[in-house]
Amino acid sequence: MPSVLITGASRGIGHAAAKAFAEAGWDLLLVSRSEAALQSLQSELSAGGVRVAYQAIDLTDSAAIAPGINDLLNQGLRPSVLINNAGAAWTGDLLGMPLERWDWLIQLNLTSVFQVCSAVVPAMRPAGGLVINVSSHAARNAFPGWGAYCTVKAALASFTRCLGEEERAHGIRACTLTLGAVDTSLWDSPTVDSDFDRRAMLPVNQAAAALLHLAQQPATQVVEDLTLMPATGAF
């Protein structure tokens, strides 16, 4: 039975993805900050007959990531797919952004992805596998007030391409799921100021279905990027 490691699994896209993969018969390794939420999700999904391991890790804490991932991998499951989904946003003038917020955003949206890949990918190499990094159309566009987010997502897209090139010899593929606006709790976070019409956004289950689609691609091919946008276009 295949297994998938999902970060940011307790809510939003990660939560929907965990359910979608479980329904498709995948075993799960789940990461989020909330142990209580992970316990609840484990109880719910393991009732369907799949194995669920989890580890509460704060991905903004760089020192916690490697030991936390190692503890998760020591629970007996080895992922064939890694989904780096956890992330956050910050809105405001680019040059007015406090340095501590800049560091926080880069740690969560980029550096933690590097750290998780560094801990997980070597364990995937013997059997090959796939890394899916959840990105944004902000990686390709410049939106006023979203400069830091655009910058870090562009860096994530470049990281993913470089990872794919370096790991090809080990049978590891890498791709991005590039998303337009998705109706998640990101829009309610204190670091985001927006008044978009969330009814026109993509629902989380569509993003989750796209992740499952990418994960189910045969090992002989890679969809290097899948872009999913609301039918109404960019916000």
Q: How far apart are CA 138 and CA 150, in angstroms?
A: 5
What is the tens place of the pLDDT at every residue in 118-132? 999 999 999 999 999
pLDDT digits (tens, 9 = 90+) for 131-149: 999 999 999 999 999 999 9
What CA–CA distance (Å, rounded) separates 73 from 59? 16
Tell me phi and psi for residue 139, to 5 degrees. Answer: -65, -25
Which domains are seen in the chain, by residue range?
3-228 (3.40.50.720)
Residue 5 makes CB contacts below 8 A (sequence gap 6+) with 28, 29, 30, 31, 72, 79, 81, 82, 83, 120
Q: Which residues pair with 97 in a beta bridge?
A: none
Please check the confidence at residue 23 and state whether its pLDDT lies above 80: yes
pTM of the model: 0.96
The pLDDT score that the predictor gives to residue 152 is 98
| Per-residue pLDDT, 194 | 84
pLDDT at 212 > cutoff 90: yes
